[in-house]
């Protein structure tokens, strides 16, 4: 193992640098999205559809791209949630879910944000940038 590292040290350093850049970039992107969302995002009625007044081809292209990006973020979040992989895994999953369209999405988002660790991390981030905490619907008893 040590001989492999000695011979390929540039590839190891390049891999580590890529790893750190992707982790930092994903954290910055996820943080920006979570800070920009309104505090009532998870309690207000379903938002109007994407480009509802646009040409059908443009609208469907936008919907497909939005859902593909959402699924990619969920997959990245799962990878970032693995032990030993630095990055905001659960927050990335939350943002990916926000981009996708599927039945029960709102309930799943509420369930994720009701986890104390996730809600605390998100609201601390929002507080740091002067934003109010997210308002959530009360869970059904």
pLDDT digits (tens, 9 = 90+) for 103-116: 888 788 788 888 88
CA distances (Å), 84 to each of 15, 19, 68, 96, in order? 15, 12, 26, 21
Asked if residues 64 and 56 have their Cβ atoms less than 8 Å apart, the reply is: no
Q: Tell me the whole-structure pTM to 2 decimals.
A: 0.61
Give every CB contact of residue 97 below 8 A, 6+ residues apart in sequence: 70, 74, 105, 108, 109, 112
Give the count of beta carbons closer than 10 Å to the beta carbon of residue 96: 21
- 6-29 pLDDT, tens digit each: 667 787 788 778 778 877 887 788
Give every CB contact of residue 109 below 8 A, 6+ residues apart in sequence: 42, 94, 97, 98
Rounded to an integer, the average pLDDT of 55-77 is 89
pLDDT at 6: 65
Asked if residues 105 and 92 have their Cβ atoms less than 8 Å apart, the reply is: no
Please provide the size of the chain in residues.
Answer: 141
Structure tokens at 26: 């994903």
Domain boundaries, the chain: 2-44+51-128
Residue that wins the pLDDT comparison between 34 and 5: 34
Please give the torsion angle defined by the CA atoms of residues 77, 83, 85 and 91, in that order, rounded to the nearest 10 degrees: 30
Give every CB contact of residue 101 below 8 A, 6+ residues apart in sequence: 63, 66, 67
């Amino acid at each position: 193992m040590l001989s492999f590292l000695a011979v390929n040290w540039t590839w190891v350093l390049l891999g580590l640098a890529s790893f750190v850049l992707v982790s930092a970039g994903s954290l910055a992107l996820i943080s920006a999205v979570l800070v920009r969302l309104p505090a009532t995002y998870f309690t207000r009625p379903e938002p109007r559809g994407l480009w509802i007044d646009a040409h059908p081809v443009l609208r469907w292209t936008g919907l497909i791209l939005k859902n593909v990006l959402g699924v990619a973020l969920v997959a990245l979040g799962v990878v970032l949630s693995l032990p030993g992989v630095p990055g905001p895994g659960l927050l990335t999953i939350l943002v990916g879910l926000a981009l996708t369209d599927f039945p029960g999405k709102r309930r799943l988002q509420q369930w994720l944000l009701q986890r104390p660790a996730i809600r605390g991390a998100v609201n601390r981030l929002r507080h740091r940038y002067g934003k109010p905490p997210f308002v959530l619907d009360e869970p059904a008893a």
